[in-house]
Chains A and B, each alone.
Chain A
Amino acid sequence: MRFLFKTDYEDDIKLFPHSGYYFSYGILFALLLVAPYVLSSYLMSQLVFVCIYAIVGVALLILTGFTGQASLGHAAFLAIGAYTAAYLQKYNVPFPVYFLAGGLFTGIIGAMVGFPALRLTGIYLVIATISFALIVEEILARWESVTNGNEGMRVKTLSLLGVPVPRDSPGFYFLCLAVLVLTIVGTLNLLRSPTGRAFVAIRDSETAARSMGVNVALYKVKSFAISAAITGFAGVLFAHKLSFISPEMFTLQLSIEFIIVILIGGTFSLHGAVLGAIFIVMIDPFLTYLKDDMPGIIAGVAAAFGAGKERAASIQSSVAAFASLNGLKGAIYGVIIMLFVLFEPLGIYGRWLKIKLFFQLFPLYKRATFKRQKIYVKSERNR
């Protein structure tokens, strides 16, 4: 177990509390750099999606995890970023310009969503953000002169300073990775400065935040704007990765996926966004595997237990029918969320911390260390 002795105020400010972090993050960074030359093109493509989902996850963490404002409308912010990019690209605007424009424009829209959201909390805020997402989806489908309606828009290959960067190339992966790293570092910086502390203060007690001089309304709007802007940047990358965008890609289901990213990863740390993104991106191939191989395996097991050939075939077909049911994915997501909320509210990252602590304290670890306790003094709060 390592004990940190602080001798300088700098020790409370710096991002890496001790030198071990340089080592572990250095290795991670090196692995990420060699990844495109080692991994298969399919895994590389998944890795790009992990980056994009993680960027959105960080954005959602700022809003939901740190400011305490739930949102089920982030698919809409992603869509606004993506469509801004696709639209500006038609007029031969260079990438850096429409990349920034996508983020800034989405940020402005986010601030505008933030204003009506000021008076709403909890489930009502969720409903408001869902409505916003539905409105955006509808606008994208109807405003054909700009968005090309339900036919969708084609996104040309990204060209950075005259050099084409195809969506499958290592270059595109590095671009996404760079945006992710910049987002994470920027957010960490924000969280260790007054604005980040004001966000956390609003999450925990608006009354106390106000009495400490935090302009709650202003900071909520700021949080919405920052979160939306980051999601907008992710949207630009998303559009390029898919090379084709249409309104039905940005549905409520996508917003729910983003919520799952932070719920499963852990809502209290930026690590959660990345871990959750890995989880959500990798669950898709897993579900495909279930759909393709599961019926055969179950039929095989049934045959091994002495089921007749006809019986095994009928089991196989009924399992296959179940596995390809519409909405099964949504149901599985629902079950996953429920299990995590019930059994691991701190998410994957929380579980990781527990495992780490177990080895650090071995053999003194107590299960009660992380046990949720009743809070007795939290009564009669002025909201």
Chain B
Amino acid sequence: MSYFRAENLSLHFGGLKAVDSVSFAVEKGEILSIIGPNGAGKSSIFNLISRIYRPTSGRIFFEDQDITEQPPYDIAKLGIARTFQNIELFENASVLANLLVGRHRHSTTQLWQEFLFLPSVRANEKVHRRRVEQVIEFLDLESYRDKLISGLPYGVRKVIELARALCSEPKLILLDEPSSGLNVEETDDMSFWIRDLKNDLGITVLMVEHDMSLVNRVSDRVIALNYGRVLAMGSPSEVQQHPDVVAAYLGA
């Protein structure tokens, strides 16, 4: 059984088939990239997994559990975290506050305990704070800890998105175009971090990406999509040389 599995996943908006019976599997501990031209349905697949959209048909399995009908907030509780293509950070909060929200799935305190800020709440907060600090250290965000998001440059926000997802200590992380809007240097950093996610933290990565050099550097396997359908699946070089993929990108 695979770690994460999508079976005949479809998403139709009226007559438009954004995702058309796509099936794929992610093995534990691998980095799988989804590529494809604009509008191929890559981000839609992510939105289906994190339940922002409800699939028209098909099923999603994670650790042998059917998660197709799970409410959106339970997806994170299961250990699936995600980042967004158009950064969805909490603008008017500090970096630290943003990262602490990432810890939400681990919060166990009750409302009345929080009102009184009992010692148990305080102890929990310190645990959260320590875990957040580890992520801050991992991603070199020390200098931004107390800054407000609304004053930060785009590249940093992108890293904070990744950091917030990591704070939830996910088993599977969905990265939606982690390098979009980043310059060459920042993209380099990102590629090292993505490798580290897999090698050091043992997190399985599912990634949508346009930057082929990044895809080649980090991916174990690649899926190419077009018009909501799978064109090719395999190692990065195999997929890039697949005639259908070449046709989709360059026109035939």
Measured in the bound complex, the distance between the Cα atoms of B154 and A198 in whole Å is 24
Contact A213 B126, beta carbon cutoff 8 Å? no
Contact size range, A = 35 or more
Stretch at the interface among A139-147, A161-169, A188-196, A250-258: A188-196
Q: Which partner residue on chain A sits nearest B150 by CB separation?
A: A375
Measured in the bound complex, the distance between the Cα atoms of B120 and A339 in whole Å is 45
Q: Which partner residue on chain A sits nearest B98 by CB separation?
A: A201
Interface residue A310 (Cβ < 8 Å from any Cβ of B): no
Interface residue A216 (Cβ < 8 Å from any Cβ of B): yes
- Which B residues are CB-close (under 8 A) to A13? 122, 125-126, 129
Query: Out of A193, A207, A209, A210, which one reaches B114, CB within 8 Å?
Result: A193
Q: Which partner residue on chain B sits nearest A195 by CB separation?
A: B114
Query: Out of A10, A198, A268, which one reaches B101, CB within 8 Å?
Result: A198
User: Which parts of A199-223 form the interface with B (CB within 8 Å)?
Assistant: 200-201, 203-205, 207-216, 222
Interface residue A40 (Cβ < 8 Å from any Cβ of B): no
Contact B122 A208, beta carbon cutoff 8 Å? no
Contact A207 B129, beta carbon cutoff 8 Å? no
Contact B104 A194, beta carbon cutoff 8 Å? yes
Measured in the bound complex, the distance between the Cα atoms of B86 and A244 in whole Å is 55
Measured in the bound complex, the distance between the Cα atoms of B104 and A293 in whole Å is 58
Contact A377 B157, beta carbon cutoff 8 Å? yes
Interface residue A378 (Cβ < 8 Å from any Cβ of B): yes
Contact A194 B86, beta carbon cutoff 8 Å? no
Tally of B interface residues using CB under 8 Å: 49
Main secondary structure of the interface of A (DSSP, over half): helix
Main secondary structure of the interface of B (DSSP, over half): helix
Measured in the bound complex, the distance between the Cα atoms of B72 and A12 in whole Å is 30
- Which A residues are CB-close (under 8 A) to B130? 9
Contact A379 B122, beta carbon cutoff 8 Å? no
Contact A197 B101, beta carbon cutoff 8 Å? yes
Measured in the bound complex, the distance between the Cα atoms of B119 and A316 in whole Å is 65
Interface residue A2 (Cβ < 8 Å from any Cβ of B): no
User: Which parts of B68-102 form the interface with A (CB within 8 Å)?
Assistant: 71-77, 81-82, 84, 86-93, 96-97, 100-102
User: Which parts of B97-142 form the interface with A (CB within 8 Å)?
Assistant: 97, 100-105, 107, 109, 111, 114-117, 121-122, 125-126, 128-130, 133
Interface residue B10 (Cβ < 8 Å from any Cβ of A): no
- Which A residues are CB-close (under 8 A) to B93? 200-201, 204
Contact B117 A189, beta carbon cutoff 8 Å? yes
Interface residue B201 (Cβ < 8 Å from any Cβ of A): no
- Which A residues are CB-close (under 8 A) to B84? 207-208, 211, 382
Contact A210 B122, beta carbon cutoff 8 Å? no
Contact B89 A213, beta carbon cutoff 8 Å? no
Interface residue B168 (Cβ < 8 Å from any Cβ of A): yes
Interface residue A122 (Cβ < 8 Å from any Cβ of B): no
- Shortest CB–CB separation between residue B176 and chain A, in angstroms? 11
Contact B86 A379, beta carbon cutoff 8 Å? yes
User: Which parts of A4-20 form the interface with B (CB within 8 Å)?
Assistant: 9-10, 12-13
Given contacts A193-B109, A197-B104, A198-B101, contact A211 B50 (CB under 8 A): yes
- Which B residues are CB-close (under 8 A) to A201? 90, 93, 101, 104
Interface residue A381 (Cβ < 8 Å from any Cβ of B): yes
Contact B117 A192, beta carbon cutoff 8 Å? yes
**Residue from A189, A197, A222, A375 whose CB has the most chain B CB atoms within 10 Å:** A197
Interface residue B52 (Cβ < 8 Å from any Cβ of A): yes
Contact A204 B104, beta carbon cutoff 8 Å? no
Contact B86 A381, beta carbon cutoff 8 Å? yes
Interface residue B47 (Cβ < 8 Å from any Cβ of A): yes
Interface residue A186 (Cβ < 8 Å from any Cβ of B): yes
User: Which parts of A333-383 form the interface with B (CB within 8 Å)?
Assistant: 373, 375, 377-382
- Which B residues are CB-close (under 8 A) to A222? 111
Contact A214 B86, beta carbon cutoff 8 Å? no
Interface residue B221 (Cβ < 8 Å from any Cβ of A): no
- Shortest CB–CB separation between residue B166 and chain A, in angstroms? 12
Given contacts A207-B52, A212-B105, contact A377 B97 (CB under 8 A): no
Interface residue B5 (Cβ < 8 Å from any Cβ of A): no
Q: Which partner residue on chain B sits nearest A8 by CB separation?
A: B126
Measured in the bound complex, the distance between the Cα atoms of B90 and A197 in whole Å is 10
Measured in the bound complex, the distance between the Cα atoms of B97 and A273 in whole Å is 22
User: Which parts of A66-122 form the interface with B (CB within 8 Å)?
Assistant: none
Interface residue B42 (Cβ < 8 Å from any Cβ of A): no
Measured in the bound complex, the distance between the Cα atoms of B50 and A216 in whole Å is 14
- Shortest CB–CB separation between residue B55 and chain A, in angstroms? 16
Contact B91 A204, beta carbon cutoff 8 Å? yes
User: Which parts of A288-312 form the interface with B (CB within 8 Å)?
Assistant: none
Measured in the bound complex, the distance between the Cα atoms of B122 and A43 in whole Å is 40
- Which B residues are CB-close (under 8 A) to A200? 90, 92-93, 97, 101
- Shortest CB–CB separation between residue B206 and chain A, in angstroms? 14
- Which B residues are CB-close (under 8 A) to A205? 88-91
Contact A377 B154, beta carbon cutoff 8 Å? yes
- Which A residues are CB-close (under 8 A) to B229? none
Which 7 pairs, one residue from A and one from B, show the smallest C-beta to C-beta distance? A213-B76, A194-B107, A204-B90, A213-B105, A208-B88, A193-B114, A189-B117
* Complex A-B: 10 CB contacts under 8 Å: A12-B129, A189-B115, A196-B114, A200-B92, A205-B90, A205-B91, A210-B73, A213-B75, A377-B154, A377-B157
Known: A200-B90, A210-B72. 14 other contacts (CB 8 A): A9-B130, A10-B126, A13-B122, A194-B107, A195-B111, A200-B97, A204-B90, A207-B88, A208-B84, A213-B73, A214-B104, A377-B154, A379-B86, A381-B86
Residues of B within 8 A of A (CB): 47, 50, 52, 71-77, 81-82, 84, 86-93, 96-97, 100-105, 107, 109, 111, 114-117, 121-122, 125-126, 128-130, 133, 150, 154, 157, 164, 168
